[in-house]
Amino acid sequence: MIWFAALAILAGVLVSLSRQINGRLALSTSAMESSFWNHLVGLVFITAVALLVGGLFAGEPTAAPWWAYFGGPVGVVFVAAGSWLIARIGAAQTALLIIAGQMISGVAIDILMGAPGNLWARTFGVGLILAGMWVVRGGRRA
């Protein structure tokens, strides 16, 4: 269990590391070019690992709805935006605001799709996140 916990933490570290490296590439090129290289290099890497391990087309992938294939273009904008932001507001604020956006939109999507959820926990959680966004937004030393 402790091993899996370490792996989960490492996954988060790698999210941040990836955004920093892409942000550095964007400084030399452009945010969109950095997103292009991120996807191309990632594609080559995943293809290589999948060929080694096997099972890339396991399951029933063709049965997936057509819209599920649009994660790529969304991801391109996501990586480009992250690369652009990190040089401007720093790694921590970029990560914090992205997490806030993900959490609040996640609640909105859950509610729209009728996913069951605890209203009080949702309200309290979203309230805390909004408060945090209000705090981080201001200037001057607190």
What residues from 35 to 54 belong to the interface with other proteins (CB under 8 A)? Answer: 35-43, 45-47, 49-50, 53
Alpha-carbon distance 83 to 91, whole Å?
A: 10
Q: Mark residues 117-136: x for contact with other proteins by CB under 8 A, - for none.
A: xx--xx-xxxxxxxxxx-xx
CB of 70 to other proteins, least distance (A): 6
Q: Which residues ranging from 63 to 102 are in contact with other proteins (CB under 8 A)?
A: 63-65, 67-82, 84-102
Closest contact distance (angstroms) between CB of 3 and other proteins is 9
Q: Which two tokens stand for residue 59?
A: 């399951």
Distance of CA 119 to CAs 103, 104, 110, Å?
15, 13, 12
Q: Is residue 111 within the footprint of other proteins (CB under 8 A)?
A: no
Q: Supply the minimum distance, in Å, between the C-beta of residue 114 and other proteins.
A: 12
Show the tokens assigned to 88. Answer: 């401007």
Number of chain residues interacting with other proteins (CB under 8 A): 123
Distance of CA 39 to the CA centre of its chain: 14
Other beta carbons within 10 angstroms of residue 122's beta carbon come to 15
CA distance 97 to 2: 29
What minimum distance in Å lies between the beta carbon of 96 and other proteins?
Answer: 5
